[in-house]
Amino acid sequence: MNDLIRNTLLLLLLALLAAPGADALPIEASVGTGPDLATIVLEFQDGADFAFEVAFDDSVPTSGVAIMQVLEAEIASFSLVILDFGFGLFIDEISYDGHTDGGFTAPDGFWHYWTRENDLDPWEFSQVGAIDRLVTDGSWDAWKWGPGSPIPEPGSGLLAGLGLAALAARRRAQSPRSLA
């Protein structure tokens, strides 16, 4: 690889690392106590998106519902409606800062629960309810009203940019060189 290509890729990498991703959500509030952190993302039907950091103690089993209850206890404009069907708890309604979605409407009008264990993992639709999920240090939980996966997260723009830069460098290296 010649110096021009190497320097261009280095500059691109530095720019990507220095610039905040366009898809990154700012942290709306940091609440809770403890040495460990989880990130909670809310995506309302009206397009409003919010991210929160919740501190907790990973040595004490903490469920996805418990993390949401910390937000409700510490943020005045945050509220939940939790239903108990006898086999587990279900978050039916979330309200924050003038945005509210809740009440089941078929086929997809309900809060979908997504998880990932760190900020580089892809979102996965949770195979367990929020009452059964144990949140760990660095994990992410997303609550999205309606179908589809949650919004891209911080880091995805960086990864996409690095992938495109690597692809461009590979194509450049594989292209036949002209003789001048």
Q: What percent of the chain has pLDDT over 90?
A: 66
Question: What confidence tier does 158 reach under pLDDT thresholds 50, 70, 90?
Answer: very low
Contacts with 111 (C-beta within 8 Å, 6 or more apart), sequence order: 91, 92, 94, 101, 102, 143, 144, 145
Lowest mean pLDDT among 31-35, 56-60, 174-178: 174-178
User: Which element (helix H / strand E) includes 168?
Assistant: helix 156-174
If one counts every other C-beta atom within 10 angstroms of the C-beta of residue 123, the result is 18
d(CA 64, CA 138): 13
Higher-confidence residue: 111 or 5?
Answer: 111
Question: What confidence tier does 1 reach under pLDDT thresholds 50, 70, 90?
Answer: low
Confidence check: pLDDT of 113 > 90: yes
Lowest mean pLDDT among 36-40, 83-87, 89-93, 97-101: 83-87
Domain boundaries, the chain: 1-23+156-174, 25-153
* CATH fit for domain 25-153, picks 2.170.130.30, 1.20.1250.20, 3.40.190.10, 3.30.1440.10: 2.170.130.30
Nearest to 154 by CA among 101, 116, 112, 99: 116
Confidence check: pLDDT of 12 > 90: no
The token pair at 67 is 């993390």
pTM for this structure? 0.74
Q: What percent of the chain has pLDDT over 70?
A: 71
Confidence check: pLDDT of 65 > 50: yes
